[in-house]
Structure 1
Amino acid sequence: MSDLIDRVRRQWEEVHPELDTTGMAVVGRVLRLASLIRRDTDDLLAGHELNRAEFDMMCALRRNSVLNPGQISREMLSSGAAITKRLDRLTKLGLVSRAASARDRRVVQVRLTDKGVALIDDLLPRQLQAERNALTNLSEPERAELATLLGTMLQTVEGMSGQ
């Protein structure tokens, strides 16, 4: 069975036979999978006026109940300005609320509204099902092995980038 990555590697072999495209066999497929899965996620979220970053922020809030913008920024590896922009938009949509902390009024606490909780509780299972669908042709042991291998690869890349 051949896929786009196999075809691209064969094309590079013809043009530059000295190039080592073995990394492309893995990384190219990971990136292609991410792109295809992201497209499906974007389609799911578009019907609710959300983008992936806003969805991820709402998921972080659902997992943690309440966070301040700095914590959200660290959790999502995003700049403070990007977080503020997303919070402003989600607030306008009625999905999050911001309030000053009772202990320190300089600290803003962010939480999902009831509407935001209901939306995440509806969307997340659908997103997780789509991810499981992508794994349909893999057995449970293959899924576990793939998760382990990708985890090892991620640790390597994170270590190289200082994340």
Structure 2
Amino acid sequence: MELQSCINFLLTTAQHEVFQTFSAGLAQFNITPGQYGVLSCLWQNGSCTPKEIAQILRLENSTISGVLDRMQKRGLIDRVVDPNDRRSVRVVPTEEGGAMKDDVLRLIEELNIDILSGFTAEQRATLISCLQQISKMDEPI
């Protein structure tokens, strides 16, 4: 099989291009695409455990720990003791982390539109459906 027909190569190069575009756009907020993922989880859920964030983002617990450390040092999130289970820690957005929500979500929408601008509406829907199928997004985590 030629490299240019290999699904791994195609997905890797496409992901790299999208990551570079998102990194450049999110730089104005001084956050990375991974940090956007964490913030998105928190904006949607209010608070999450580190394990829940890792599951939603499909990352290893050890990976998310480093991301959370950097975000806490930057003042975007706090870790607080769960009032219902003192052994558990929940991650919450700080005021700064919450304040950027609307601007970041607007940018993400613009970036998605830009990246998919060469596709018809039907092609976009098919692409998203195929990527969800490959990533098994319809299966429980």
Same fold (TM over 0.5): yes
Q: CA deviation at 1:153?
A: 3.5
TM-score (norm 1): 0.71
Matched with 1:54 is 35
User: What does residue range 70-81 of structure 1 map to in structure 2 within 5 Å?
Assistant: 70-81=51-62
* 1:147 corresponds to 2:128: yes
Alpha-carbon separation, structure 2, partners of 1:58 and 1:75: 12
Which segments of structure 1 move beyond 6 Å, counting only runs of 4 or more? none
User: What does residue range 1-163 of structure 1 map to in structure 2 within 5 Å?
Assistant: 20-21=1-2, 24=5, 27-155=8-136
Alpha-carbon separation, structure 1, partners of 2:74 and 2:135: 35
Secondary structure of the structure 2 residue equivalent to 1:67: coil
Q: CA deviation at 1:111?
A: 0.8
Letter in 1 for 2:124: R
TM-score (norm 2): 0.80
Matched with 1:12 is none
Contact 1:98 1:110 in 2 (8 A): yes
Summarize the Cα distance change of 1:68–1:139 in structure 2 as closer, same or farther, 3 Å threshold. same
Secondary structure of the structure 2 residue equivalent to 1:127: helix
Query: Residue by residue, what CA displacement relative to the aligned partner does 1:8-55 show, whole Å, maximum 9, x if unpaired?
Result: xxxxxxxxxxxx338726554433322112111111223333222222
Summarize the Cα distance change of 1:44–1:137 in structure 2 as closer, same or farther, 3 Å threshold. closer
Letter in 2 for 1:45: L
Structure number with greater CO (CA < 8 Å, separation at least 6) is 2
Q: Percent identity?
A: 22
Letter in 1 for 2:118: N
Alpha-carbon separation, structure 2, partners of 1:21 and 1:98: 48
Unaligned runs of 5+ in 2: none
Summarize the Cα distance change of 1:97–1:151 in structure 2 as closer, same or farther, 3 Å threshold. closer
RMSD value over aligned CA atoms?
2.6
Contact 2:3 2:9 in 1 (8 A): no
Whose Rg is larger?
1
Alpha-carbon separation, structure 1, partners of 2:65 and 2:9: 33
Aligned residues: 139
Letter in 1 for 2:26: L
Summarize the Cα distance change of 1:77–1:124 in structure 2 as closer, same or farther, 3 Å threshold. same
